[in-house]
């Protein structure tokens, strides 16, 4: 892949120059390529449940999100490995989400992922995704098999990647992006892996050595999100890793589903749930908005900037009471 040094370019030049060899690309929003205006409020649907199917359906009912009608939807799960949930996205969560998107009139659904260290194809085979695709009629893109021309280069000013980073062209060009993440900690430097860290699976595997060896890893994780913007995020919090992760760890049940469109708000709420469950010291002893992934995402304008900007939407008493508890943790930090 080529190199494109744009660290000194102004915003207009950046919009013209940050994407390598992509004259055919649709216009990219400024939200994808530079600091966005900070949102004033983020609505997060919260539902207490032990059922993944019910969880997906209920949070989508609660939440107002952009219509998928007539859109080609790209869905990014958490298939870093094929380990049991929360090590990876649960099949029931994925299948219910696909069915719900279909009922809302999406013209096409594609599941896209890049696993690692295991081969993506093997992970998808182990998860039964190819069979599921036949059953539910969706497409699959293995980002690990993309040609060089199908990667888009980003090198935003001030980012911590040596030569910028890459995002799959199908994601950048997608009409509608949905992501679904798990609730878990990360033992290899990420601290936690929620919606922001899901973006690591959108980068080429060859960049992982740079990411994992950098003292700026958590900042770099946040910076990947400048390359794309999901319209809908669903977090499966039925089970959580409160220590260890991302593949295996100490399990606890949270029995909650979250959904929204703001990655910072989703991650902040997820960390609050981990705090409520009792998690490792890197979670328990640091304020939520002082976490480096969150802090850098705020600096980049990827969403809200304060915990009091999160507004929970709930359908029942149990969910409302839990939301109040999580809100209190968020405010305390």
Q: What is the pLDDT of residues 99-125, one digit of tens each?
A: 999 999 999 999 999 999 999 999 999
**Own/partner pairs, 212-216, CB within 8 angstroms, 24+ separation:** 212/188, 214/160, 216/160
pLDDT value at position 40?
A: 81
pTM of the predicted model over 0.85: yes
pLDDT value at position 27?
A: 33
Asked if residue 143 lies in contact with residue 11, where contact means CB atoms within 8 angstroms, the answer is: no
Residue 268 C-alpha from the chain's centroid:
13
pLDDT value at position 17?
A: 37
**Residue 127 phi/psi, 5° resolution?**
-85, -10
pLDDT value at position 13?
A: 35
CA angle 89, 153, 211 (to 5 degrees): 55
Asked if residue 242 lies in contact with residue 249, where contact means CB atoms within 8 angstroms, the answer is: yes
Picking from 182, 286, 296, the residue whose alpha carbon sits closest to that of residue 239 is 182
**Is the preceding omega at residue 86 within 30 degrees of 0, hence cis?**
yes
Q: Is the dihedral of CA 144, 149, 151, 153 positive or negative?
A: positive
Tokens at 329, concatenated: 């943790």
Burial 189-201 (b: 16+ CB within 10 A, else e): ebbbbbbbbbbbb
The CATH number of 42-332, from 3.30.420.40, 3.40.630.30, 1.10.220.110, 3.40.50.11440, is 3.40.50.11440
pLDDT value at position 251?
A: 98
Residue whose tokens read 């999160």: 310
Pairing assessment for the beta strands 249-260 and 42-48 based on DSSP bridges: antiparallel
> Cα dist. 287→184, 195, 251 in Å?
17, 18, 22
Positions in the chain whose pLDDT score sits under 50: 1-33
Q: What whole-number distance in Å separates Cα of residue 213 and Cα of residue 209?
A: 6
pLDDT value at position 35?
A: 55
Q: Residue 324: helix, strand or coil by DSSP?
A: helix
Q: What whole-number distance in Å separates Cα of residue 60 and Cα of residue 161?
A: 35
Tokens at 214, concatenated: 């950098």
Q: What whole-number distance in Å separates Cα of residue 94 and Cα of residue 29?
A: 28
pLDDT value at position 5?
A: 30
- Residue partners of 147: CB distance under 8 A and separation at least 6: none
Asked if residue 319 lies in contact with residue 326, where contact means CB atoms within 8 angstroms, the answer is: no
Asked if residue 81 lies in contact with residue 127, where contact means CB atoms within 8 angstroms, the answer is: no
Tokens at 240, concatenated: 């959580």
Element (H, E) at 108: strand 108-113
SS3 content of the chain, % helix, strand, coil (to 5): 40, 20, 40
> Cα dist. 101→60, 171, 187 in Å?
10, 17, 33
Q: What whole-number distance in Å separates Cα of residue 75 and Cα of residue 205?
A: 19
Element (H, E) at 32: helix 30-33
Q: What whole-number distance in Å separates Cα of residue 309 and Cα of residue 286?
A: 19
Tokens at 226, concatenated: 């400048």
pLDDT value at position 30?
A: 32
Q: What whole-number distance in Å separates Cα of residue 179 and Cα of residue 166?
A: 18
């Amino acid at each position: 892949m080529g190199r494109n040094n744009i660290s000194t370019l102004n915003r207009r030049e950046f919009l013209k120059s940050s994407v390598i060899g992509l004259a055919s690309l649709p216009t990219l929003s400024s939200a994808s390529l530079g600091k966005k205006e900070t949102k004033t409020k983020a609505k997060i649907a919260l539902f207490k449940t032990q059922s993944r199917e019910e969880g997906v359906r209920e949070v989508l009912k609660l939440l107002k999100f952009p219509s998928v009608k007539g859109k080609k939807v790209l869905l990014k799960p958490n298939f870093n490995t094929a380990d049991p949930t929360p090590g990876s996205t649960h099949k029931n969560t994925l299948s219910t989400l696909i069915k719900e998107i279909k009922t809302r009139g999406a013209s096409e659904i594609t599941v896209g992922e890049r696993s690692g260290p295991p081969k993506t194809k093997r992970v998808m085979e182990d998860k039964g995704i190819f069979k599921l695709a036949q059953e539910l009629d969706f497409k699959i893109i293995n980002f690990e098999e993309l040609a060089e021309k199908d990667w888009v280069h980003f090198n935003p000013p001030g980012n911590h990647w040596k030569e910028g980073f890459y995002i799959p062209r199908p994601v950048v060009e997608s009409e509608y992006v949905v992501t679904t993440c798990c609730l878990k900690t990360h033992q290899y430097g990420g601290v936690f892996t929620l919606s922001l860290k899901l973006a690591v699976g959108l980068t080429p595997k060859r960049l992982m050595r740079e990411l994992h060896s950098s003292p700026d890893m958590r900042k770099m994780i946040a910076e990947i999100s400048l390359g794309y913007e999901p319209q809908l995020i669903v977090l499966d919090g039925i089970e959580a890793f409160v220590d260890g992760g991302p593949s295996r760890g100490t399990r606890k049940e949270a029995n909650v589903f979250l959904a929204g469109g703001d990655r910072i708000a989703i991650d902040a709420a997820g960390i609050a749930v981990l705090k409520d469950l009792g998690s490792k010291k890197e979670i328990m002893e640091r304020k939520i908005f002082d976490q480096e992934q969150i802090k850098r995402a705020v600096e980049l304008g990827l969403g809200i900037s304060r915990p009091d900007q999160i507004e929970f939407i709930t359908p029942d008493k149990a969910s409302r009471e839990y939301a109040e508890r999580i809100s209190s943790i968020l405010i305390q930090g």
